[in-house]
Homo-oligomer: A and B are copies of this chain.
Amino acid sequence: MTIRFGVIGTGAIGREHIRRISQTLSGGEIVAVTDVNQEAAKQVVEQFKLDASVYPDDKSLVAAENVDAVLVTSWGPAHEQSVLAAIEEGKYVFCEKPLAVTAEGCMNIVEAEMKHGKRLVQVGFMRRYDSGYVQLKEAIDNNFIGEPLMIRCAHRNPEVAENYSTDMAVTDTLIHEIDVLHWLINDDYKSVQVVFPKKTKHALDHLQDPQIFTIETESGVSINAEVFVNCKYGYDIQCEVIGEEGIVKLPEFPSIVMRKDAKLSTNVLMDWKDRFIEAYDKEIQDFIDSVRETGEPNGPTAWDGYIAAVTSDACVKAQQTGEKEAIVLKERPAFYSKNTECKTV
């Protein structure tokens, strides 16, 4: 059984996933597309030589009989409606982050999915499929470091576009740490406080950069998360978990080792697209495989999308107040038991 996808939103990320499903992965095909710009949708069909219909809107695409699963890659504010429409039709949904732009919107989806009675939704948090994070999680779950006590992480970009604003350090950047860290240590967040260190001269006037988030979890783990999006030297994702018995840390991105001009060196990525390219492949392949094999997706859930929304809101508030802000989640429904297992190589 091949999974027949309908794609809502044919911008950059949409096209990237279309290429992935039609040219790289196994077991999926694109049978329907739509976009607010209908011309763009048609061009994509041509560009990728798809055997796919172009639909006028998300509702009609979702309703198409030959669509098994919906890929939501439109702009954020449109996600909630499309995901709810898909659930209504009992279709699977792979939704790029954010699941919805408000915590309330996420809860609407959570409730719709629970009402439907089985999992349909996967959120596009790809880091859980990155081999480095997978190794970290295995080490932690195998008790290699004992109880986690502290996490130090950093999310650094060489530079950002002009329209990147201070709150986007949370909603576009830290959001990936927000998703992956609670999964990594099987914990929930409790509070967050933000410090703005001396600002780099490479940041525009309107942007605080770097920023440091101190996040406390329910069990007392202290997370120190740096966001630095004009760091100049590279795209660099660091994560180190410090436990009672030892420490585990993400590997550097693999590079040949060079000796030249009085330096022993390896390459640091400059383009974020290269960093998680395999993780993107794996998240969609896992979505396809688990739907085919178990009838439910296996990756980040609608509840994870809700956690990200609530935490993200608290982080933005903490940016504004300078105070320690509480991160208050509703009680986790049994439907979303902790530790959804992503398939790993």
Contacts and interface: CB of A to CB of B under 8 A. Distances in A.
Contacts of A259: 233-234, 236, 246-249, 268
Interface in A1-43: 22-27
A214 interface: yes
A77 interface: no
A86 to B, nearest CB: 25
A150 interface: yes
A150 B27 contact: no
Interface stretch (A58-66, A104-112, A121-129, A250-258): A250-258
B150 A226 contact: yes
A234 to B, nearest CB: 5
A132 interface: yes
Given A149-B198, A224-B224, A233-B245, A252 B264 contact: yes
A221 interface: yes
B26 A23 contact: yes
Given A149-B198, A242-B228, A277-B345, A233 B251 contact: no
Nearest to A139: B256
B200 A24 contact: no
A246 B228 contact: no
A263 B265 contact: yes
B233 A135 contact: no
A342 interface: no
A226 to B, nearest CB: 7
Nearest to A240: B257
Given A149-B198, A198-B220, A256 B260 contact: no
A251 B254 contact: yes
A261 B266 CA distance: 11
B262 A267 contact: yes
A263 B257 contact: no
A189 to B, nearest CB: 14
Contact of A248 (B222, B232, B254, B258): B258
A202 interface: yes
A263 B264 contact: no
Interface of A: 22-27, 131-132, 135-136, 139, 144-150, 152, 195, 197-202, 210, 212, 214, 216, 219-222, 224, 226, 228, 231-234, 236, 242, 244-270, 277-278, 285, 289, 345
14 contacts: A146-B200, A150-B210, A150-B226, A150-B228, A198-B221, A236-B259, A245-B260, A249-B258, A250-B256, A251-B256, A252-B264, A254-B254, A262-B269, A263-B265
Given A23-B289, A197-B220, A262-B268, 6 more contacts: A132-B256, A147-B201, A245-B260, A252-B264, A263-B265, A278-B278
Shortest beta-carbon contacts, A-B, top 8: A246-B260, A198-B220, A265-B265, A197-B222, A247-B259, A249-B257, A251-B254, A135-B256
